[in-house]
Amino acid sequence: MSEMIATLEETALSDYKYGFVTQIEADEAPLGLNEDIIRFISAKKEEPEWMLEWRLKAFKYWQSLGNHEPQWANISYPSIDYQNIKYYSAPKQKAGPKSLDEIDPELRRTFDKLGISLNEQNRLSGIAVDAVIDSVSIGTTFKAQLAEQGIIFCSITEAIQHHPDLVKKYMGSVVPMTDNFFAALNSAVFTDGSFCYIPKGVRCPMELSTYFRINAENTGQFERTLIIADEGAYVSYLEGCTAPMRDENQLHAAVVELIALDSAEIKYSTVQNWYPGDKEGKGGIYNFVTKRGICSTNAKISWTQVETGSAITWKYPSVILKGDNSVGEFYSVAVTNNYQQADTGTKMMHVGKNTRSRIVSKGISAGKSNNSYRGLVQVGKNAHNSRNFSQCDSLLLGDKCGAHTFPYIETKNSTSIVEHEATTSKIGEDQIFYCNQRGIDTETAVALIINGFAKEVMNQLPMEFAVEAQKLLAISLEGSVG
């Protein structure tokens, strides 16, 4: 309890504390997007020919779509000028750091400020981190220890150079380049991201983590993450992100692909804290992300997300339950304040027999924000005995915000059971009164209730993230409660 009060007090005083800019010289591509830019990115990354061809193919497809972004989401924003973005920006370094010691000290200070230790000696935290700033990955920790077990954890650029077979086989297999507008754009211009391969039967001994940061002005961040868990493997993966405070909007369009082979398990957690814009809704990150996983027989994929940042969140982590007996899970807390807009949810596609999925989504809206849950549960003809349970609850703080629910349920099998329930409410006066009666002041009571509201999801987060996520919740809602 006391910890919570402290957290609230601490956060009540602070605004977006990650909004600093690091003065690092950057190596950048000029503004705009055309084939030359793609060739430039590919050359910078020293990519093989097939990768460049793949990118160009994606670019052609993206061009064929015109400037028609998907219109169906419950969000509104001025159209994005794709020619006014820098597609490549890298902190200037002497070519390829051989070890973490060679990383620009200014950069390392940035990550220290963010509370992410790239220092290998700091083993206490026990998390292997891959840090991505603007367009490139600047260092991956614990690489050697992981390699002992045959685990590959590196930036996607390295993976393309050193493990082309794996990349060739799996990249685009879950999210094809033609999947949607932003996935096509990402496939053409992705600059870096993380790659992870867990060999057969290996249980990854530590949490793997990627930290994304947009630093340079006018840049878009397009990272690509590919995680492959081979038969019987297990991995827990964390993702975090921040950006400086700027007046203009910046674009972030990532693609994440998860592949869980037979009996493998992948747990993917995100704490998304991009800069949400100021109180008047100026600035902030446009977050258009495509995340999807595919499960083979007996495999399991679990998505957990805490969404507090971004001016716009457009994100639907999905699971294709292809193999029999596979399991998909989605836990989400999405908080919007001021003028933020979130349209987020999941897709669970039941293809195999005895597949199970569970969706727990908690939306909290405050200020003048709009928060939507959009989900699809699809049960195919052959998905006998499949089971889904979805719950989406919304909490409204204030009378100028909106909460929306758009669940789609499509069932084609008579032996499956699909359940969906949703509620919308505010914090009850009687609930507050109950707390007041017991000597808890109103502000604390509100924090207590919100914490309880989100608990089911918070419990799914790895320990290290849970604390941070709880603080974030409080920051995002600062000033809107009580």
Provide the binding-site residues for another protein, judged by CB under 8 A.
Answer: 72, 379, 381, 394, 396-426
Give whichever of 411 and 431 is closer to another protein, judged by the CB atom. Answer: 411
- CA 411 from chain centre, in angstroms, equals 28
Cα-Cα-Cα-Cα dihedral of 426, 430, 436, 440, to 10°? -50
- State the first-to-last Cα distance of the chain, in angstroms, to the nearest integer: 17
Contact 278, 246 (CB under 8 A): no
Residue owning tokens 């910046």? 250
CB of 400 to another protein, least distance (A): 7
CB of 444 to another protein, least distance (A): 20
Q: Which pair of structure tokens corresponds to residue 131?
A: 């840090």
CB of 280 to another protein, least distance (A): 20
Burial readout 458-482 (b: 16 or more C-beta within 10 A, e: otherwise): bebbbeebbebbbbbbbbbbbebbe
Give whichever of 82 and 406 is closer to another protein, judged by the CB atom. Answer: 406
- Which is it for the CA torsion 131, 124, 17, 97, positive or negative? negative
Give whichever of 135 and 378 is closer to another protein, judged by the CB atom. Answer: 378
Burial readout 328-341 (b: 16 or more C-beta within 10 A, e: otherwise): bbbbbbbbbbbbbb
With CA atoms as reference, report the closest residue to 52 among 202, 152, 160: 160
Give whichever of 77 and 408 is closer to another protein, judged by the CB atom. Answer: 408
Task: Measure the CA–CA gap between 305 and 314, rounded to whole angstroms.
Answer: 13
Give whichever of 382 and 459 is closer to another protein, judged by the CB atom. Answer: 382
Q: Which pair of structure tokens corresponds to residue 459?
A: 């419990």
CB of 359 to another protein, least distance (A): 12
CB of 393 to another protein, least distance (A): 9
Which H/E stretch holds residue 16? none
CB of 425 to another protein, least distance (A): 6
In a 3-state reduction of DSSP, which class is residue 449? Answer: helix
CB of 426 to another protein, least distance (A): 4
In a 3-state reduction of DSSP, which class is residue 359? Answer: strand
Give whichever of 279 and 426 is closer to another protein, judged by the CB atom. Answer: 426
Phi then psi dihedrals of residue 19, to 5 deg: -85, 25
Give whichever of 2 and 414 is closer to another protein, judged by the CB atom. Answer: 414
For residue 131, what are the β-bridge partners? 139, 211
In a 3-state reduction of DSSP, which class is residue 234? Answer: strand
Give whichever of 220 and 375 is closer to another protein, judged by the CB atom. Answer: 375
Q: Which pair of structure tokens corresponds to residue 57?
A: 């193919």
CB of 18 to another protein, least distance (A): 29
Give whichever of 284 and 363 is closer to another protein, judged by the CB atom. Answer: 363
CB of 417 to another protein, least distance (A): 4
Task: Measure the CA–CA gap between 464 and 233, rounded to whole angstroms.
Answer: 22
For residue 445, what are the β-bridge partners? none
